[in-house]
Amino acid sequence: DGGITQSPKYLFRKEGQNVTLSCEQNLNHDAMYWYRQDPGQGLRLIYYSQIVNDFQKGDIAEGYSVSREKKESFPLTVTSAQKNPTAFYLCASSPRRPAGQETQYFGPGTRLLVL
């Protein structure tokens, strides 16, 4: 059945290490997003992609990178330049058409912890 999967559920990062969070969807959605959630705060947009091979920075893109080589996949890399990566990361996707149907649906999330 259709949905969004994220892996791993928990991820541990050592100092200076890059780590990659996986996000896959089989909903045939064009647009995909990455959000970060910190305690006591709402979600903040890191990156988004509206079409394959294209992506834009969100509000807090520094220290992160993404790629969109396939429609169903939008991996997020947390680089060593991200000094405070401990957070809950949520991936979402949405259709682009028809207008008014661009509601975002979320995956189950990945908890990233720094060792």
Please give the residue ranges that form the binding site for other proteins (CB under 8 A).
31, 33, 35, 40-45, 48, 50, 56, 58, 88, 90, 92, 94, 96, 100, 102-109
- Output the smallest distance, CB 73 to other proteins, in A: 18
**Nearest approach, Cβ of 113 to other proteins (angstroms)?**
14
Residue (of 20, 29, 18) closest to 6 by Cα position: 20
Distance of CA 79 to the CA centre of its chain: 14
Nearer to other proteins, 13 or 44 (CB): 44
Closest approach of other proteins to the CB of residue 42, in Å: 3
Closer residue to other proteins in complex, CB, 16/40: 40
Rounded CA-CA distance 23/19 in Å is 13
The residue (of 18 and 51) whose beta carbon lies closer to other proteins is: 51
Q: How far is the CB of 114 from other proteins (least distance, A)?
A: 19
Residue 101 sits at φ, ψ, to 5 deg, of: -110, 25
Q: How many CA atoms lie within 13 A of 25 on its CB side?
A: 25
Q: Is 19 left (phi over 0), alpha (psi -120 to 50) or beta?
A: beta
